[in-house]
Amino acid sequence: MSDISKITDFLELLGDPVLIANVSSEIIFANSACASLFGYTKNQMMQMHIDDLMSKPDSINHQQYVREFIYSSSTPKDMMTRTTIPCINSKGEGFNSRISIASVKISGELYGVATIQDYTSIQREISYLESNSNVDVLTNLFNRRYLEEVLKSNSRILATWQTIGVLNLDLNNFKPVNDNLGHAAGDSILKMVANRLKVSVRYDDVIFRMGGDEFLIFINLTNVADKYELLGSISSKISKLISDPFMLKNQPIHIGVSVGAGIYPDDKDDLRELIHRADKAMYLSKSNAGIVTFVNQLPEQ
């Protein structure tokens, strides 16, 4: 049995859609899950190019991108760090996908291996959640009620995210805004903070307003190599964005943010308890005037 036959036999067993393409973007293998996703037979897919699975405007220059990636032998690119890719099935129907790609050498030849995730159903769920009582009215972020749903063992996040980064945030110097300028001004600042938080994380990460000026963020760390480095980087980005002045009636408002961070299940295999520990780490950041404190830096209990 050839090397490629061994690999394709294994990939056929996977539940996730997977395809293999050569440097010319020709599909040389697609497992049954991939064929089913796009509505073709496996044989039909192996007579197609990757570009045939994408909407035409988005397929421009994609073949060159695939060629360059395969020849570069770059490290795998994870679907969680990429934007959605518009795809099209055999009926001409469009859907959004997230794709994780890797360059591999099989029997001396270079190929690209792609794992594909249909993201349309997840987007529908997010749209539904945003339209009901799981959303904070002021900021349009998720609220404590939705957090309770997430913490249930059968929630989508706990079922599909293998590793979760937890960021517990509390604004600094926010109380004087309410005291000196009034609650309407404070509400305006909270709305602007929410918008800055949204651009500081990936759109499939989850942000909660816990109440007042406290926020919680779940970061999907599944397949992320250096989890602490990524959480530290995101925390620094958030700190910079929140520290930039907020303009309110042509007046600059200066606030800051303190962050406590932890990783589930690495730091704690109980997500609720990890959130509590991240809250303690956040207050340690606040007392030390630092940006972020990790749960594993807390004093032993």
Q: What is the pLDDT, as a whole number, of residue 57?
A: 65
Q: How confident is the model at residue 65 (pLDDT cuts 50, 70, 90)?
A: confident
Q: How far apart are CA 61 and CA 114, in angstroms?
A: 18
Which one of 93, 118, 143 terminates a domain? 118
Counting the structural domains of the chain, the total is 2
Phi then psi for residue 179, to 5 deg, are: -65, -40
Residues 25 and 100 in one domain: yes
Tell me, what amino acid is at 34?
Answer: C
Per-residue pLDDT tens over the stretch 232-280: 999 999 999 999 999 988 899 999 999 999 999 999 999 999 999 999 9
Q: How far apart are CA 182 and CA 244, in angstroms?
A: 21
Range of the domain at 75: 3-118
Which one of 118, 152, 172 terminates a domain? 118
Which one of 118, 153, 180 terminates a domain? 118
Mean pLDDT, range 206-218, rounded to an integer: 96
Asked whether the predicted pLDDT for residue 301 surpasses 70, the reply is no
Residues 113 and 137 in one domain: no
End-to-end CA, the chain? 56
Residues 196 and 282 in one domain: yes
Instruction: Map tokens 């990460």 to a residue.
Output: 205
Residues 200 and 290 in one domain: yes
Q: What is the pLDDT, as a whole number, of residue 202?
A: 84
Residues 144 and 260 in one domain: yes
Residues 55 and 196 in one domain: no
Per-residue pLDDT tens over the stretch 130-151: 566 888 989 999 999 999 989 9
**CATH code for position 235:** 3.30.70.270
What would the two tokens of residue 192 be?
């602007």
Q: What is the pLDDT, as a whole number, of residue 80?
A: 41
Does some domain include residue 195? Answer: yes
Q: pTM for the complete prediction?
A: 0.61
